[in-house]
Amino acid sequence: MNICTYSYEEYVHLVKSFHGTLAPGLLIGGFMVDLAMKNLPEGEFFDAVCETPVCLPDAVQILTPCTVGNGWLSVVPFGKFAVTLYEKYAGEGVRVYLDTKKLDGWPEIRDWYLKKKKKQDQDSEKLFSQIKEAGHGLFGLQRVRVEADKVRRNKMGAVAVCPQCGEAYPTRDGQKCLGCQGGSPYKDILPVSAGA
Amino acid sequence: MNICTYSYEEYVHLVKSFHGTLAPGLLIGGFMVDLAMKNLPEGEFFDAVCETPVCLPDAVQILTPCTVGNGWLSVVPFGKFAVTLYEKYAGEGVRVYLDTKKLDGWPEIRDWYLKKKKKQDQDSEKLFSQIKEAGHGLFGLQRVRVEADKVRRNKMGAVAVCPQCGEAYPTRDGQKCLGCQGGSPYKDILPVSAGA
């Protein structure tokens, strides 16, 4: 069974190259994106929503023109294994989700997905072969209309130079940048001159 | 000037293929990641932080093993053009940022970055040639220690089946999934049978 324009083996190769490891979620995600692509509503330009940051965004980034950096892929933190492709202007879309009612036919996938087995008790070979065999058989499909303003990132808006760090930031964040307002995840900051 | 293991032209090709368009931010981002890679602290495994979702995450995803889906790339919403690569256990890292003090030598980049010119008044050719010429010359470099728990996504934890939608979700979110708690960006949901 193909995944979009790739053979299963070609997709596996792309996953290893982009994602680093052959994660079960990325194989399932490949089939999900494939099913969504085969059920697109009419339209020319499609944006994507992933309902988890885990694995699934990479399937979208490998298989569609939508990426995090170009803003056509939005990630919403629902922790749900579901992906939606939608026409970017009217919002008409198709949502593919992992249907828990269909998992009983694939016990190794079920136990992995619902965390019924510890990692060391999982049978990887069986898991991967069930994923390949199941293909689209794990999924449910819905037509949806996406309220794009709820998922798309905000426009950057006006920028200014932060009076504290001297870097540019969006003025919508206030008198100084969010890092200097206490959000910085950095400690022990030490300026250095470039080494190359 | 090369960008990591690629020639400038090879990188441009990768950007067009992955990101869809040759965005100025992605070319600058390529040089930023290159500079960070050339100034890595000691260590074997590095995670990444981007301080904006705009463009920069795609430079990281093209040039490093870190992606959104594998969790090695975190995006923090500071709207700042800065990237940090850090050793994943101790947090020792290198942060590369766009140094506003260095922009005056590159007026077309300055006016684009600080939004001093409307898009139709920008000279794209001049902008791209200044970016290529400037290379690392736009950046500042800092040693930092990253507090990884402030940037990394939370572990999924236990999962359950949502009593409302029937899909799996992380139990840390409460009695039902965040979508069914009112966060859903979808309207007019209509189940359909798979068409392929």
pLDDT digits (tens, 9 = 90+) for B147-176: 999 999 988 899 999 999 999 999 999 999
Helix then strand count (H, E) for chain B reads: 5, 8
Task: Find, in chain B, the residue whose alpha carbon is nearest to that of A137.
Answer: B194
The whole-number pLDDT of residue A194 equals 62
Token pair for B128: 């791209």
From A65, A141, A169, residue closest to B194, measured CB to CB: A141
DSSP for A22-61 reads: --HHHHHHHHHHHHHHTT--S-S-EEEEES-SSSHHHHHH
- Dihedral sign for Cα atoms in the order A21, A25, A31, A36: negative
Does any CB of chain A come closer than 8 Å to the CB of residue B146?
yes
- For residues A60 and B151, what is the distance between their CA atoms, to the nearest angstrom? 23
| CB pair distance less than 8 Å for A67 and B20 | yes
Paired tokens of A23:
């994660």
How far apart CA A148 and CA A121 sit, in angstroms, is 41
**A35 — contact with chain B (CB < 8 Å)?**
yes
Q: What is the pLDDT of residue B77?
A: 93
Domain range B8-150, its CATH number among 3.30.1330.130, 3.40.50.2300, 3.30.1330.180, 3.60.20.30: 3.30.1330.130
Closest residue in A to B58 (Cα–Cα): A69
Query: Which residues in chain B are classed under CATH 3.30.60.80?
Result: 157-196
User: What six digits make up the tokens of A86?
Assistant: 């939608």
Cα distances (Å, whole numbers) of residue B154 to A51, A54, B74, B78, B172: 15, 10, 11, 19, 11
Q: Which residue of B has its CA nearest to A100?
A: B167
Our CA angle for B176, B182, B185, nearest 5°, is 115
CB contact under 8 A, B71 and A77: no
pLDDT for B196? 55
Residues of chain A with pLDDT under 70: 194-196
Cβ atoms of residues A84 and A73 within 8 Å:
no
Is B182's pLDDT higher than 90?
yes
- The topology (CATH level 3) of A157-196 is Wheat Germ Agglutinin (Isolectin 2); domain 1 (3.30.60)
Q: Given an 8 Å threshold on Cβ–Cβ distance, is A78 in contact with B169?
A: yes
pLDDT score for B118: 87
Q: Is A118 helix (H, G, I), strand (E, B) or coil?
A: coil
Q: What are phi and psi of B93, to 5 degrees?
A: -150, 175
CB of B134 within 8 Å of a chain A CB? The answer is no
CB-based contact (8 Å) between A135 and chain B? no
**For residue B26, what are its two tokens?**
């992605």
Q: In B, which residues are within 8 Å of A75 by CB distance?
A: 68
Residue A155's pLDDT is what? 87
Q: Do A195 and B38 touch (CB under 8 A)?
A: yes
Name the residue in chain B with its Cα closest to that of A184. Answer: B150
Sequence-ordered strand ranges (E) for chain A: 46-50, 73-75, 82-87, 92-98, 139-146, 159-161, 168-170, 186-192
Domain with CATH 3.30.1330.130 in chain B: 8-150
Given pLDDT bands bounded at 50, 70 and 90, which one contains residue B194?
Answer: low
A56 lies within 8 A of chain B by CB: yes
Select from B20, B101, B169 the Cβ nearest to the Cβ of A79.
B169
* pTM score of the predicted model: 0.96
Residue A31 C-alpha from the chain's centroid: 13
pLDDT of residue A193: 81
The reply to whether residue B192 touches residue A141, judged by beta carbons under 8 angstroms, is yes
- Counting Cα atoms < 13 Å in the Cβ hemisphere of A48 gives 31
- CB < 8 Å to A101, chain B: 166
Residue A19 is nearest to which of B70, B146, B169, comparing CB atoms?
A: B70
CA atoms within 13 A on the CB side of B52: 25
Mutate to test the interface with B, among A70, A144, A146, A177 (most CBs of B within 10 A): A70
Residue-wise pLDDT tens digits, B107-161? 999 999 999 988 889 999 999 999 999 999 999 999 999 999 999 998 889 999 9
Tell me what pLDDT residue B36 has.
97
The Cα angle at residue A155 between residues A150 and A156, in degrees rounded to 5: 135
Nearest CA in chain A to B110: A168
